[in-house]
Structure 1
Amino acid sequence: MPSVEHIATNGSVPRTNGRAAHDHPFPGPSHTRPSLLSKLALKPWIPATPAGLVLTNARVVDPAAGELLHGLHSIVIKNGKIAAVYPVDEPDLLEEEAGLRKVDVDGRYVCPGLIDAHVHVTAVPGVKTISELVRTPEEEIHYRTIYVLREMLLRGFTTVRDTGGASKRLANAIDEGLVVGPRLFQCGKAISQTGGHGDFTPAQSGGEPGCCGGHSISLGRTADGVPQVLKAVREELKAGADQIKVMCGGGVASATDAIETIQYSAEEIQAITSTCRQMGNVHTTAHAYTVEAVRHAIDNGIKGIEHGNLIDKETALYMAEKDIYLTPTLSCYGIMVRPPFEDFLPPDGQVKNKQVMQQGLQAIKLAEDAGVTVCYGSDLLTSMHALQTEEFTVRAEILSSPAILRHATTNPAKLLRREGQIGTVSPGAFADLLVLNANPLADIRVLDRPEHHLQVVMKEGRVHFSTMATLPTQEELEKESLKLRKLSPRVRKPKADADTTGTGTSSPQLIEGALLSQANSSSSQHPAFRSSSSTVVLAQIRAALQAPPLPPGSTSDELLLSTNGAAELNYVSSHAFLSQSFSKEDAHSSDWPGDVAFRQVSSDGDFPVHFVQVPTLMYGTAAPESSQVWQGACAALAPDAPPRLIDIYLKRSQPANPILDDTKFTSSDPASLAEAGVSYGLLTSLLAHSTCYVHEIRPIHKCLWRQVLLCLEDEYRRPSLYTMQLALITITARPAINVAQTHISLGRLVAAAHLLGLHLDPSKWRLPYSERILRKRLWWSILQQDKWRALWYGRPSIITREDWNVPLPTVEELLPAATREQQLSMHSFVAMCRLTEIVDSILSSFLTVRALSSSRSPTETLKLLEKISLELIALDYNLPVELRHMPTADDRPEATVATGIRSFQLCKFGIDLTLYQLSSTCVQPTTSADSLASCRTALTLAQTLVEFLENLTPGDLEMWWAPYCSFIIATAASVLLRTALSAKDLDATTRTSAGVFFARLVVTLTSSHHASNWDVASLALDKIATLLRSLNGALPELVPLLQLFGPPNHANAGPPAPAQPPPPPVPISPNLAQHSPSLPHPFLPSLAQHTSGPQVSAPIDQLTSPMSDGDPLWWMHTSVLSLPQHLGALPDLFEGWPSIDGFGQDAFAGGGEVDGAVEGDGAMFDLRSFLEGPSTGAL
């Protein structure tokens, strides 16, 4: 800047910033740069209204109705509020959506922001007890409160009510954007009498107060008598309290007041409530546990109750009658007594803590049933705030998910007098939204796992947290905007009218639209703001991250059916593709010989996915047309059998192993499915697969599968997703007898899956949604077969963890019309996927060649086993209650559970069994006591399995069972036999118990084989018979069991009957679907069916002829097992027998003489008497 001396010496006035100095006699620029104008506001920290946007393809959660809005919806957000919500198939609201950025949430669930109606945000971390909190400087509390609030918002709570400690100033700071956190409603300081629940002074309360158990100085104040109470409440209202909280009863951790105490007189409470009514009708709420304290508060004008754990039914009805709000806080009691908070409460507080928790769940159920408006409350302090969402899991033990979601949305919105503004996804409400990958209405506990399910947190249209690349947070947008402004050069332009700076250049612009939230408001406030090229650049970058819209008519198989029969698309890695083409296109097609045609399907520029077109080279003998194969299979069945068998597959196998496209298999009519593009080979496999469900068609088991394998061989020449489905249906068929050939088939299946790119995450691929979902399910089904077969069949796993990245499928990917049973079946499939991850850990840690050859200390082994065990516990913790509940003698369900659940439960038991086997073999017991303890652990596992199998319903046996379930049962039998051998010289009682459990297992399986034709039991029995014979009499008490089995393989000395040719094919009947689907109709043809002139279908005995007596499938069509005649009396056989400690009454038969058995402890169990029945009726 020129000095005064310079001006005087030179005699001229220099130009400054484009203007003469006499126009602006002050040094420096005459105008402030436009980019700084917003910083000169009175409160420059107040953020601009966020840019509007449209969320498309959202599944909208309606908490008030307890259901999803029908179909997918678009949500229009403008000025921080929801402007419109409408179905995606309706015309766009052009006026509402004009200029707004669209974000496709791709079928995710959009839920209202959560509301926690009982928090203490100033009870901050950094201290172990509240006595330390009292001594914490107030300034430190303020700083730490910022952390508490931000974390609450990131957990999905967009609104909270502080019931003691927060102030109006803090709420204002949040509203102005100075502090990031949920919208805050506050009660100021909670008001307590001296010596009451909120009296935190050590001289009066003694002990160390805890959560709502004697507040710190930052949470409450004391006042006694009507004058002091009036002054206290008026001061809190003057300071801006939204509500007033009163301590009307005893608390958990406050040492001077028992839970039963009633605090404050009627006159004092009335003084508070009348003042609140006079000063704006302010809501009042009371801390109270007991019936007496609750009624005392309500009778004197209080409108809300905090906790209320000890209320009875009459009080709940009274609360409903008086329109009283109830905010229970159930999770805090368990949190305060478990590590690392086990010393948080003093000893007397821990006693009271148990007292109130025991009835807490029942109290909330009484209130809900009575019609009380129940709200969500966490009531956590210090570092416990991190467990704020655990209240969802606690309430889920007794209430439904829709009811609990209302507790955290619509109900507290009503409590805070903000109905229609918060707690809802509807026009006019604040855009407080959560985007989830799971449906909280189906399982509310997804909200207790935000790290797994919460993908976006939006408050008033501003994104504070996001895992979606297409919906970045406001902070991310501003950082990217700043980078672009620094990189974008200034463009010199001629001076124009808009050039208010006089510099001849346009002013820097703010990113418009969603790219910078301040742009909209700032540009309207400051005309100097103009657009620049960086806006367009950044918008293009954002758009490139999103998959382009699919062309009309796209199908789920578009990727793999877009080539002609002479070529196919195979996946190659991007590294390999670089050596085949220099093209940068997303797709290239050409008829030029030698040219590389390809398609790049990924929208992720960092991870391109190329499918290269290669010629289909068909070698060998041409396979028959799949339609001919289908006709051959139908010829062996009754005319109406095919659609009924397909329907059986769709109802029993598909829900538990969802490898078919739900959008195509909407009917069981073969003709309709064929018209939809489903191959006849796949349809034939559905018929063959159903032999495990319909024992009537088991005689033609081989006939059907022979047709399927012909199709599969042809499919592998030009693999597609249909090939994967056909192969999986074949591999998952029961019985799993030909294990070696299946292992070869699995290797072939995995190789074809790699060619189709199934091992890659398709989430960002430019493919239809249904194909992306199907690809995930197919891969995880393949992975299950690979890992579980490696575990139970003892062959190496084919798939390595480093070579795939497919995310887990989710229940939310089901069609919106899915029933509860279908959802539970999908839960079982997802749980099996998670269990497969644990199996992979077991294989890699213990059962690979490298793991078996490496040396590991017992301590290291135990650590690995404990880690896997914790993973199993965590999995179980996240399961729906229907998957956790196993049938027992005391709790046998009457109804059949959803298909897939029982199979999952048996597989999960198999992992427990495997961990036991590994622990007993890798860590050898060193003493007899250790060996005996190991044996008793085995007996505990055996009891679980035996009771599980004994209490399965007939309907359970007809549902989906994984093909390796027979091996799990047989392995359990081998563990029992080894336990009996190990205990032979240790303890006769343990040996006898193992024998009894083994006998119960065999008899239960035998009963299931004969009564229900359960092939899982049949194959398990076949393996158990081999185990028994291999003992060579080492356990003589079990030898009589061999009488239940025929000779090995049921061999017949005579030659097998000659094989007969298959019956002649018949055309597909166009009206097969019109036949009755009821199962009493025969599935096999009669001699009068399928006639064409002189031709007659082969009779049943000819169809069964391939099943010779020496065939490994002998058990499928013969009755070789014979049960004891008194089988029906078996339950009575155990009546009155003394029990072994720890194994229940049914585990052991001792006491009394039974066919020569010696009386007394450790008597040998007489199995022959068990099988032949009581000889004298002495039992």
Structure 2
Amino acid sequence: MESASSIVPIPSARPYRSHKLRACDYCRKRKARCSVEVLGQACLLCRANGRQCEYSDARITPARAGSRPSDLDSHPQSPSAGQSLKRSHAVLEDNITDSPLYTQHVARKQALRRDGIDDDNGITTQSAHIVGPAITSDAHVLEQYMSPNSPEGNEPTQNPYRVYSADPHKPVLYRRVPRRRAGLEVAKEPGVKQQVVLEQVLAPNARRLLHLYLDKVHPAFPVIDENQLLDTRKNDASGPSAALICQIYAITMTYWNQTSFSKVHPHPDSRFAWNLAVKALQDDFLAPTLSTLQTVLVDLTGRPTYSITGNVINIGRAVTFSYSLGLNRDPSQWNISQYEKNLRVRIWWGILIHDSWGSLAHGTPSCINSTQYDVPPPTLDMLKSTVNSSRAHEKSLEGFIALCSLTEILGRVLPLVYDLKGNTQKETLKTIRRVETDLDEWEDSLPEYLIRNSQEEPAVSGSKFHYMQAVAQSDASNTSEALKYRQFECRKSAQTIVNFVRSLQSSHLGEFWLPYGAYYLTSTTTLLLRFAVETTEDAVAESCVSSVKMLTQRLRHAREHDDWDLADDCLSQCEGIIARMTHNGRSSDQTSNLPRPIFNGLEIDAPGDWLDATMPAFYGPMDGSSQMRDVWGMFDYEEPLII
């Protein structure tokens, strides 16, 4: 009994708020409970994130004013307590500085914190802002004068400019500006609190979700670096920001049911995850960096879309901030690392994609003009991964490159859609013919696997459909043979989209989709309904109504059985339009005497009452007359089951 009582049992876990077994740096930083099941192993929070516990050297801090000596001496530190602090953790090898990964790690650190000056709290107080072209040449001369190597230079002073490109024809200079508003309290690491909450909710699958993002989202939309995301140096500035991690956790909620652990762990609340991620992004925008743009790109790519207004605002902020960082300039000849050049290119094209396709989906003019950037499209060498080099991964990257080229073509169509002053008919038709030629060349350049069975194929049909929308509004005469041909092509493109959606399997629905596809499906359905209402040809009306039936049937099946959120907007809008059309059937003389308005310099037919609120305003009667068909009874049908 005496010998047994002298044995001190080893605790199986660290007591809460224990000072004998202190918390690791990761838990202390996040003010989370450091729970250790077995001494010598990582705590639960570090294990959930795939990392080892790390402990910085304990520093003796001076006693607080008013502390009694007895309080400091009442808890002497035992020798065994110091030994218990020695837990296993990863040790860098001596030759790590010679490895390519370390070189890339240093380049990431320089790219994410370039020109930053830290204060005593470790917060970057200054950032770089590009010098405008109006004074670039003058500032370049001044920079050369203030250079220490200049013979005219006197005693060295702080140079307000930094030269990125000394090309005399296109010099690129940056100046330092305050990163945050004076007097405004900014978090040292925005999003840390939200990240801790999400990781506690998602534990122990938080680390798996990072790999899920790299598997599902990143190959099709590579705006971040895999090594940056998987970097274990969490205390380093080159690692992923907390706000970016929150966005990645939120976007992977769409693919949760496709994982192996979904059978054991229930699906978290997607709206709760997105609200935390959005709060982290708002805090990050108070003192933005290059990483903030990556964060907002992941946010805009997320599904489902909970706030169109929020997305439109984020697109505008991302575009203007990217201008201030000079991302719209070609960095190929700049005095920066190749890693930063590639990073700037992929971020810019991600912003351009969201700005252009978001403009088409949300009905707002694009923030980027095609004449105000010269960044070349990304190449496969820029996007290739050191983590995943499979052929399937390369095919997804090639699909992203094709989407970038298609976005350039779309950028030439959008000015026609949102032009309020109106160009001449001759100029408009010239632009349309050039765009049509570019679109044909783009389709011919696609690899075979992108044409047949690719997630990018909707972009092919969708671009044709919206291109024909711009064409249809540009013809002046309803009796023109050219107009009838354009209307036929527009209807054919819409029906092509319907056939494509019907051919999708469950595996296709689970792949990566941009959120704007939901609005393209709605516009396709709306256009087909308008064709059915305004044509006097029985075959055309029946074909359009049949296409609407098949599309809504397939979308409803995809929503109920595959949880495909892109079908929500089309189903709600389509059912409402059909119900309204059936209830408010109108006669043929309601639009016969309406004046013909001018749109984009061309005369078009005036829309009707309910049609004005539900369908585009630039479509006139399909056959040149104002006779409306009685197609209301065509929508009473029974849907067959899809096997």
TM-score w.r.t. the length of structure 2 is 0.67
Number of residue-to-residue matches in the alignment: 473
Report the counterpart of residue 584 of structure 1 in structure 2.
144
Residue from 204, 208, 219 that aligns with 1:640:
204
> Structure 2 matches for 1:367-766, cutoff 5 A?
554-562=106-114, 563=116, 564=118, 565-573=124-132, 575-576=134-135, 578=138, 582-584=142-144, 595-602=158-165, 604-618=167-181, 619-620=183-184, 622-623=186-187, 625-637=190-202, 639-665=203-229, 667=230, 677-694=239-256, 700-766=269-335
Report the counterpart of residue 970 of structure 1 in structure 2.
522
Any conservation in 2 of the 1:560–1:568 contact (CA below 8 Å)? no
Q: Distance in 2 between matches of 1:789 and 1:677?
A: 30
1:726 Cα deviation (Å)?
A: 0.5
Report the counterpart of residue 373 of structure 2 in structure 1.
804
Q: Say yes or no: does 1:856 pair with 2:416.
A: no
Q: How has the CA–CA distance of structure 1 residues 677 and 598 changed in structure 2, closer, same or farther, with 3 Å as cutoff?
A: farther
> Structure 2 matches for 1:743-1142, cutoff 5 A?
743-813=312-382, 814-815=384-385, 818-844=389-415, 846-849=416-419, 852-857=420-425, 860-886=427-453, 901-902=454-455, 904-923=456-475, 926-927=478-479, 936-983=488-535, 986-1033=536-583
From the two aligned structures, give the one with the greater helix fraction.
Answer: 2
Q: Aligned letter for 2:504?
A: L
Any conservation in 2 of the 1:586–1:601 contact (CA below 8 Å)? no
Any conservation in 1 of the 2:284–2:292 contact (CA below 8 Å)? yes
Secondary structure (helix, strand or coil) at the match of 1:613 reads: strand
1:931 Cα deviation (Å)?
A: 7.7
Any conservation in 1 of the 2:301–2:515 contact (CA below 8 Å)? yes
Q: How has the CA–CA distance of structure 1 residues 567 and 755 changed in structure 2, closer, same or farther, with 3 Å as cutoff?
A: same
Q: Distance in 1 between matches of 2:466 and 2:314?
A: 26
Q: Distance in 1 between matches of 2:305 and 2:550?
A: 24
Q: How has the CA–CA distance of structure 1 residues 932 and 1033 changed in structure 2, closer, same or farther, with 3 Å as cutoff?
A: farther
Please list the CA deviations of residues 924-946 of structure 1 after superposition, one character each: whole Å capped at 9, or x if unmatched.
56449888766654443233112
Q: How has the CA–CA distance of structure 1 residues 782 and 585 changed in structure 2, closer, same or farther, with 3 Å as cutoff?
A: farther
Q: How has the CA–CA distance of structure 1 residues 625 and 743 changed in structure 2, closer, same or farther, with 3 Å as cutoff?
A: closer
Any conservation in 2 of the 1:674–1:680 contact (CA below 8 Å)? no
Any conservation in 1 of the 2:129–2:325 contact (CA below 8 Å)? yes
Please list the CA deviations of residues 484-508 of structure 1 after superposition, one character each: whole Å capped at 9, or x if unmatched.
xxxxxxxxxxxxxxxxxxxxxxxxx
Q: Distance in 2 between matches of 1:574 and 1:994?
A: 52
Q: How has the CA–CA distance of structure 1 residues 1020 and 1166 changed in structure 2, closer, same or farther, with 3 Å as cutoff?
A: closer
Any conservation in 2 of the 1:716–1:723 contact (CA below 8 Å)? yes
1:866 Cα deviation (Å)?
A: 2.3
Please list the CA deviations of residues 723-778 of structure 1 after superposition, one character each: whole Å capped at 9, or x if unmatched.
11001111121223422222121111112112222111111122221211111010
Q: How has the CA–CA distance of structure 1 residues 1029 and 557 changed in structure 2, closer, same or farther, with 3 Å as cutoff?
A: farther
Q: Structure 2: state its 5+ residue gaps.
A: 1-94, 96-101, 119-123, 149-154, 587-629
1:784 Cα deviation (Å)?
A: 1.1
Report the counterpart of residue 528 of structure 1 in structure 2.
none
Please list the CA deviations of residues 1058-1102 of structure 1 after superposition, one character each: whole Å capped at 9, or x if unmatched.
xxxxxxxxxxxxxxxxxxxxxxxxxxxxxxxxxxxxxxxxxxxxx
> Structure 2 matches for 1:246-285, cutoff 5 A?
none
Please list the CA deviations of residues 836-882 of structure 1 after superposition, one character each: whole Å capped at 9, or x if unmatched.
111111112x1233xx322533x554443222111001011111111
Q: Aligned letter for 1:570?
A: H
Q: Aligned letter for 1:1013?
A: D
Please list the CA deviations of residues 864-902 of structure 1 after superposition, one character each: whole Å capped at 9, or x if unmatched.
32221110010111111111225xxxxxxxxxxxxxx41
Any conservation in 1 of the 2:417–2:470 contact (CA below 8 Å)? no
Any conservation in 1 of the 2:370–2:412 contact (CA below 8 Å)? no
1:673 Cα deviation (Å)?
A: 6.1
Secondary structure (helix, strand or coil) at the match of 1:612 reads: strand
Please list the CA deviations of residues 262-282 of structure 1 after superposition, one character each: whole Å capped at 9, or x if unmatched.
xxxxxxxxxxxxxxxxxxxxx
Any conservation in 2 of the 1:587–1:599 contact (CA below 8 Å)? no
1:611 Cα deviation (Å)?
A: 2.3
1:826 Cα deviation (Å)?
A: 1.3
Any conservation in 1 of the 2:140–2:173 contact (CA below 8 Å)? no
Any conservation in 2 of the 1:989–1:1163 contact (CA below 8 Å)? no
Q: How has the CA–CA distance of structure 1 residues 723 and 995 changed in structure 2, closer, same or farther, with 3 Å as cutoff?
A: same
Bigger Cα Rg: 1
Q: Aligned letter for 2:378?
A: P
Please list the CA deviations of residues 401-435 of structure 1 after superposition, one character each: whole Å capped at 9, or x if unmatched.
xxxxxxxxxxxxxxxxxxxxxxxxxxxxxxxxxxx
Secondary structure (helix, strand or coil) at the match of 2:583 reads: coil
Q: Distance in 2 between matches of 1:574 and 1:938?
A: 42
1:990 Cα deviation (Å)?
A: 1.7
Any conservation in 2 of the 1:657–1:781 contact (CA below 8 Å)? yes
Q: Distance in 1 between matches of 2:227 and 2:304?
A: 29
Q: Distance in 2 between matches of 1:952 and 1:1035?
A: 34
1:968 Cα deviation (Å)?
A: 0.9
Secondary structure (helix, strand or coil) at the match of 1:583 reads: helix
Q: Distance in 2 between matches of 1:835 and 1:694?
A: 30
Any conservation in 2 of the 1:810–1:830 contact (CA below 8 Å)? yes
1:1024 Cα deviation (Å)?
A: 2.4
> Structure 2 matches for 1:189-338, cutoff 5 A?
none
Q: How has the CA–CA distance of structure 1 residues 561 and 919 changed in structure 2, closer, same or farther, with 3 Å as cutoff?
A: closer
RMSD: 3.4
Q: How has the CA–CA distance of structure 1 residues 716 and 853 changed in structure 2, closer, same or farther, with 3 Å as cutoff?
A: same
Q: How has the CA–CA distance of structure 1 residues 1172 and 1000 changed in structure 2, closer, same or farther, with 3 Å as cutoff?
A: closer
Q: How has the CA–CA distance of structure 1 residues 830 and 793 changed in structure 2, closer, same or farther, with 3 Å as cutoff?
A: same
Report the counterpart of residue 638 of structure 2 in structure 1.
1170
Q: Distance in 2 between matches of 1:551 and 1:812?
A: 18
Any conservation in 2 of the 1:601–1:610 contact (CA below 8 Å)? yes
Q: How has the CA–CA distance of structure 1 residues 974 and 699 changed in structure 2, closer, same or farther, with 3 Å as cutoff?
A: farther
Any conservation in 1 of the 2:345–2:378 contact (CA below 8 Å)? yes
TM-score w.r.t. the length of structure 1 is 0.37
Secondary structure (helix, strand or coil) at the match of 1:655 reads: coil
Q: How has the CA–CA distance of structure 1 residues 606 and 560 changed in structure 2, closer, same or farther, with 3 Å as cutoff?
A: farther
Report the counterpart of residue 91 of structure 2 in structure 1.
none
Q: Aligned letter for 2:366?
A: S
1:910 Cα deviation (Å)?
A: 1.8
Q: Distance in 1 between matches of 2:570 and 2:294?
A: 27
Any conservation in 1 of the 2:532–2:631 contact (CA below 8 Å)? no
Q: Structure 1: state its 5+ residue gaps.
A: 1-88, 90-549, 887-900, 1037-1161, 1174-1179
Q: Distance in 1 between matches of 2:346 and 2:288?
A: 17
Q: Aligned letter for 1:688?
A: A
Q: Aligned letter for 1:1027?
A: I
Any conservation in 1 of the 2:147–2:159 contact (CA below 8 Å)? no
Q: Aligned letter for 1:969?
A: L
Report the counterpart of residue 38 of structure 1 in structure 2.
none
Q: How has the CA–CA distance of structure 1 residues 1007 and 796 changed in structure 2, closer, same or farther, with 3 Å as cutoff?
A: same
Q: Distance in 1 between matches of 2:335 and 2:374?
A: 17
Q: How has the CA–CA distance of structure 1 residues 915 and 569 changed in structure 2, closer, same or farther, with 3 Å as cutoff?
A: closer
Q: How has the CA–CA distance of structure 1 residues 832 and 1035 changed in structure 2, closer, same or farther, with 3 Å as cutoff?
A: farther
